[in-house]
Structure 1
Amino acid sequence: MNLPAPFTDWFAARGWRLRRHQADMLRAGERGEHALLVAATGAGKTLSGFLPTLVDLTAHPTDRLHTLYVSPLKALAADVERNLLGPIAEMGLPISVESRSGDTSSDKKARQRSRPPNILLTTPESLSLLISYPDSFSMFADLKTVVIDEIHAFAPGKRGDLLSLALARLQAIAPGLRRVGLSATIADTTAYRAWLAPDSDAGSVTLVEGEAGADPDIQILLPEGAVPWAGHSGRYAVHQVMAEVAKNRTTIIFCNTRGLAELIFQELWKVNDLSLPIAIHHGSLDREARQRAEAAMAEGRLRALVATSSLDLGLDWGDVDCVIQMGAPKGSSRLLQRIGRANHRLDEPSKALIVPGNRFEYLEAQAALDAVKAGERDADRFRPGALDVLAQHVMALACAAPFQEDALLAEIRSAAPYRWVDATLFSRLLGFVRDGGYALKSYDRFRRLAPDGQGGWRIAHPRLAAQHRLNAGIIVDAPTLDVRFKNGRRLGTVEEYFASTLSPGDTFAFAGLSLEVESIRDSDVLVRATTKPARIPSYVGARMALSTRLADRVRGFLADPTSWARFPADVRFWLEMQALRSVLPRPGELLVETFPHEGNHYLVAYPFEGWNAHQSLGMLITKRMERAGLQPLGFVASDYALAIWSLRPVADPAALFDAAILEDEFVEWVEGSHLLKRAFREVAVIGGLIERQHPGKRKTGKQVTFSTDLIFDVLRKYEPDHLLLEAAWADARERLTDVARLGDLLDRAAGTMLHQKLERISPLAIPVLVLIGRESVAGADVDDALLGELADSLADQAMRPT
């Protein structure tokens, strides 16, 4: 393509050429087409998205808002602003660029609405607030393009629901609006094109694929001894990791959880004999601390940065030499995203190391490498749009102007996540936004909409607009609950998502004690010490789910001995002994082993559906075992396996894995625990039923919980089909229990269960059984040594040929 002179000169000055995908994006822009660009990190993806805007604004200068850029992170928007302003200044283009987020001053926000820049960079939440103002109609009237960066980070979740609804409103204001999506890691491009397009018309979105870059250089870092039986941190390799840091100018060390990031940072610091500057970055850190780390990284003052998913959508640091993944990556797309943080140069390979935490994680790491080489990405699962998000959006639009019900429904249905909403459901939703619904309509505090006198609806009082803007948002901070004895003695805190799975009578390990739940009141878990075994011995924070495609590849390894030759000798011997002592499941089969061990009876299943699904299944199966008189004592889950131990043996595992468990025990568990009540709290906040903030005052988590619990009880009693209860059930099923994967697992078990009745522990069971011992170990310093002894003891039993 022929670029205007300022652009050709700028490219030439850098020795760059216009890449094919950049030219394709320019052509799509000239034709006014929606476009989805899928290109590797380092391919100039962001510049490709903005080139049509910069060229058009150079040819047709304006003082109006031309392009809206939406990113998942405020820091990413600020980084893009810096990277845009540089080229604009260097080419002398008369184009203004600004960011807008929660950190933007109120004066600047007000000015942006009346006199916006040519390019505005923002987030879904800030965009939702913008469309809640009456002047949004004039602000966006001449909008030409919306660029959505890292689209995969939005589309499948609630932030994607909010953004999709906002796009529908922008399209109604500016019908000629062009939508552009950017991503490096998308498997199902048709699904994303349908999400991006008005009215889900995937064919209206031009797919642009980036030029292929150099293949990444990915290695699996093996220990100097044997690959560990258990663990997921990779901390055994800290000396080797520190040596890699010393060899490179800059390294990013990714960890899958915040707790692991803190652990690895401390372990690295202990062996940092050269006193190299290293730092840590994760979402729980203070914003200023994160910004200091980002600035030090950008300026080349750090040799290593330990990070979590807070940098998965990383900033443009071109001088990163190496990326190290501690523990298994859980998905090929995530691994590619993280590897892309290294070098940002398309024609040079990105260097990466994976440090598997145990033998199953070695198989997963190898599966991820194979998937990357095969160009295989992890598919995202799209689900129906959330009703609490829709309620928030309807209130935002009412703040901007009165609306007609039929016209608004048509606009909402043009957003892909909400194609399923019909007139009956929308009438119910409007009823909720209007007055809270049947059981709450007599309370004035829930009245938010009123007739506008012309057959439509308006906000009931002007103050409600300010109140909405103060409380709008999709991200609800997860509160913690205090663990206390009845006498008030506080033992510590557990995160609410864990407490929400507990019911009176459940036992769990905490503070070195076995505790029995007596009740859950407001923000307290009341307990008593017990001699009963801890029924729930393992709990951690929200975990990244093992992707289905990686799980399938690991299953393939188990069933194909010809693939074992490239594995380390100890991993290969482990699999060979499993084949000798028991069996290895073929793809599609569910292997269940039962055996006695140390006076108890064990059932170990290998579903490979991820920790979240296995944890939920463990809760359900132990309840079913109790009813059957099998006297279960506890369970433990990993990403690959589930182990349950009991006083009586399980003769027929198939009865425990009956799919009816999702209709019987699942419903009973959710309703008997606080899972549904906690899900209701979130949807009530997002849906606007409960306000977190008032001018100059913010409710505590305990106050919010108290308010939502009261309303929850009223609705369960008087309006059990209330819209928000429906939304809470959808959340409980979808997000908190991974119920979709549970359903697939149980369906598969019905026809493919392979039950092996053994006389002793099997080799394949060692990694999950070691997790039981982990819970009885006090203190991180002795953890590895004692667990190693336990694993060796189990291996002595399991790996004997006879």
Structure 2
Amino acid sequence: MDKIFHEKIISWFNNQFNRPSAVQIQAWQVIEKQRDVLISSPTGSGKTLAAFLYGLNQLFVKGDDGLTILYVSPLKALSNDVKINLEQPLDDLNQLFPEKNVRAASWTGDTTPAERNKIRKKPPNILVTTPESLYVLLTSQSGREILKNLKTVIIDEIHAVANSKRGAHLVLSLQRLEALCYQRPQRIAISATQKPIETMRDFILHGENSEIVNLGHKRELDISIEIPQSPLSAIMSNEQWSEVYQRLCEVIAEHKTTLIFVNNRRLCERLTKNLAEKIGEEFITSHHGSLAKEHRLNAEQMLKSGQLKALVATASLELGIDIGDIDCVCQIGS
């Protein structure tokens, strides 16, 4: 780290963490060379900080004005999570560099018109967004204006959109960014373990000037499939659902925190209501796209802080969010 980061950044890092992880060390060596990089490693290995820290170092040392780091995530929940997780490091580093005032903001479908106007008038140094919101920014004159000074684009959970129309649209937006910006932004992509990883790299990065940092490995999992004891039919009976509710209550009681995934919002609310009647509504809540932004953010924070025994969610919570000490995941009807 000594040759890459300012001594104050190193001091802050050492106070927060024991040592850099293997993926962080390798990623920083590539990022410092201004080469595009795809970072692939398991959850909890420090990928996000590996992607952000060099850019933060440049902001605090060189003091670039305006928006220089763009973080793109396929989910609003993940964008919100990253924005919140940036607040404390930025507070700490702004105190270490009192002459600076590095700021972060988010621009998603949940961002209010007032917040968007504030971003337009005084762009933050770091903007957290989604592929769709990036597309919208690129279609407006004011949006293009605040994106012109970008130095770094971080694309998280790229494996989730790579083989879809969303992925194709995202790559198109990244190409439009290159044409717009005063200098080509460095791309830092983050992915779960994938095979072949080279395919993912070729999709999102320029192969001739890119590298892969791949420390992926599979973790041991305890997996089981359970079905109701009563005979199954095309439509589950109330008796069978009662068995499901009872078994879920047992699972929740056996673990510290349980995350329950369902296929649709209606089932999400139905499960939450029935389980709340059994374990107490203060210990469980729901998370899906139709809920208010405040409810979703509160649910994520309660889950991270350990206040919930269980959370029932749709795919709105499935990608890369820092959701604390989860020790059991259930999938209903999957």
Q: 2:36 aligns with which of 34, 52, 71?
A: 34
Counterpart Cα distance in 1 of 2:228 and 2:127:
52
Tell me if the contact between 2:23 and 2:46 (Cα under 8 Å) persists in the aligned partners. no
Residues 278-299 of structure 1 show CA distances to partners (whole Å, capped at 9, x for unaligned) of: 1122223344443443343244
TM-score with structure 1 setting the length:
0.37
SS at match of 2:139: coil
Counterpart Cα distance in 1 of 2:23 and 2:235:
39
Counterpart Cα distance in 2 of 1:64 and 1:12:
28
* Residue 278 (str. 1) matches residue 284 (str. 2): yes
Give the partner amino acid of 1:115: K
SS at match of 2:58: helix
* Residue 54 (str. 1) matches residue 56 (str. 2): yes
State the match for 1:305 in structure 2. Answer: 311
State the match for 2:224 in structure 1. Answer: 220
SS at match of 1:69: strand
Tell me if the contact between 2:27 and 2:51 (Cα under 8 Å) persists in the aligned partners. yes
State the match for 1:172 in structure 2. Answer: 179
Instruction: Map 1:584-663; keep pairs closer than 5 Å.
Output: none
How far did 1:310 drift?
1.2
How far did 1:231 drift?
6.4
Counterpart Cα distance in 2 of 1:147 and 1:165:
15
Residues 494-525 of structure 1 show CA distances to partners (whole Å, capped at 9, x for unaligned) of: xxxxxxxxxxxxxxxxxxxxxxxxxxxxxxxx
How far did 1:171 drift?
0.7
Tell me if the contact between 2:151 and 2:186 (Cα under 8 Å) persists in the aligned partners. yes
SS at match of 1:191: helix
Give the partner amino acid of 2:109: G
Give the partner amino acid of 2:113: S
Counterpart Cα distance in 1 of 2:326 and 2:77:
18
Instruction: Map 1:182-193; keep pairs closer than 5 Å.
Output: 182-193=190-201
Give the partner amino acid of 2:221: D
How far did 1:256 drift?
2.9
State the match for 1:24 in structure 2. Answer: 26
How far did 1:243 drift?
1.6
Tell me if the contact between 2:300 and 2:323 (Cα under 8 Å) persists in the aligned partners. no
Tell me if the contact between 2:257 and 2:325 (Cα under 8 Å) persists in the aligned partners. yes
Tell me if the contact between 2:41 and 2:192 (Cα under 8 Å) persists in the aligned partners. yes
SS at match of 1:253: strand
Counterpart Cα distance in 1 of 2:216 and 2:16:
19
State the match for 1:322 in structure 2. Answer: 328
- The alignment yields a C-alpha RMSD, in angstroms, of 2.9
Counterpart Cα distance in 2 of 1:73 and 1:97:
18
How far did 1:186 drift?
3.0
More RCO (CA 8 Å, sep 6+):
2
Tell me if the contact between 2:77 and 2:316 (Cα under 8 Å) persists in the aligned partners. no
SS at match of 2:25: helix
SS at match of 1:316: coil
Tell me if the contact between 1:21 and 1:211 (Cα under 8 Å) persists in the aligned partners. no
State the match for 1:252 in structure 2. Answer: 259
Counterpart Cα distance in 1 of 2:148 and 2:273:
53
How far did 1:108 drift?
4.0
Counterpart Cα distance in 2 of 1:38 and 1:65:
26
State the match for 1:99 in structure 2. Answer: 106
SS at match of 1:208: strand
SS at match of 2:141: coil
Counterpart Cα distance in 1 of 2:123 and 2:314:
35
State the match for 2:215 in structure 1. Answer: 210
Give the partner amino acid of 2:87: L
How far did 1:145 drift?
0.8
Counterpart Cα distance in 1 of 2:62 and 2:105:
19
Instruction: Map 1:131-170; keep pairs closer than 5 Å.
Output: 131-135=138-142, 138-170=145-177
Q: Note closer, same or farther for the CA distance 1:66–1:225 as it changes in structure 2 (3 Å cut).
A: same
Give the partner amino acid of 2:126: I
Counterpart Cα distance in 2 of 1:232 and 1:40:
38
SS at match of 1:240: helix
Q: 2:124 aligns with which of 112, 117, 125?
A: 117
Instruction: Map 1:348-387; keep pairs closer than 5 Å.
Output: none
Q: Note closer, same or farther for the CA distance 1:242–1:204 as it changes in structure 2 (3 Å cut).
A: same
Q: Note closer, same or farther for the CA distance 1:219–1:165 as it changes in structure 2 (3 Å cut).
A: closer
Aligned length: 322
Tell me if the contact between 1:261 and 1:280 (Cα under 8 Å) persists in the aligned partners. yes
Q: Note closer, same or farther for the CA distance 1:6–1:212 as it changes in structure 2 (3 Å cut).
A: farther
How far did 1:222 drift?
4.2
Tell me if the contact between 2:105 and 2:124 (Cα under 8 Å) persists in the aligned partners. yes
Tell me if the contact between 1:282 and 1:309 (Cα under 8 Å) persists in the aligned partners. yes
State the match for 1:409 in structure 2. Answer: none
Tell me if the contact between 1:37 and 1:181 (Cα under 8 Å) persists in the aligned partners. yes
Q: Note closer, same or farther for the CA distance 1:266–1:117 as it changes in structure 2 (3 Å cut).
A: closer
How far did 1:96 drift?
1.6
Counterpart Cα distance in 2 of 1:85 and 1:310:
23
Tell me if the contact between 1:255 and 1:307 (Cα under 8 Å) persists in the aligned partners. yes
Counterpart Cα distance in 1 of 2:66 and 2:273:
51
Give the partner amino acid of 2:210: V
Give the partner amino acid of 2:134: L
Instruction: Map 1:396-795; keep pairs closer than 5 Å.
Output: none
Give the partner amino acid of 1:257: N
SS at match of 2:24: helix
* Residue 71 (str. 1) matches residue 79 (str. 2): no
State the match for 1:402 in structure 2. Answer: none
State the match for 1:261 in structure 2. Answer: 268
Q: Name which one, 1 or 2, has greater alpha-carbon Rg.
A: 1
How far did 1:262 drift?
3.8
Tell me if the contact between 1:144 and 1:178 (Cα under 8 Å) persists in the aligned partners. yes
How far did 1:101 drift?
2.4
Tell me if the contact between 1:19 and 1:211 (Cα under 8 Å) persists in the aligned partners. no
Q: Note closer, same or farther for the CA distance 1:58–1:274 as it changes in structure 2 (3 Å cut).
A: closer
Counterpart Cα distance in 2 of 1:137 and 1:277:
44
Tell me if the contact between 1:191 and 1:202 (Cα under 8 Å) persists in the aligned partners. no
State the match for 1:759 in structure 2. Answer: none
Question: Structure 2: 5+ residue runs without aligned partners?
Answer: none
Tell me if the contact between 2:193 and 2:216 (Cα under 8 Å) persists in the aligned partners. no
Instruction: Map 1:279-294; keep pairs closer than 5 Å.
Output: 279-294=285-300
SS at match of 1:323: strand
How far did 1:30 drift?
1.2
TM-score with structure 2 setting the length:
0.84
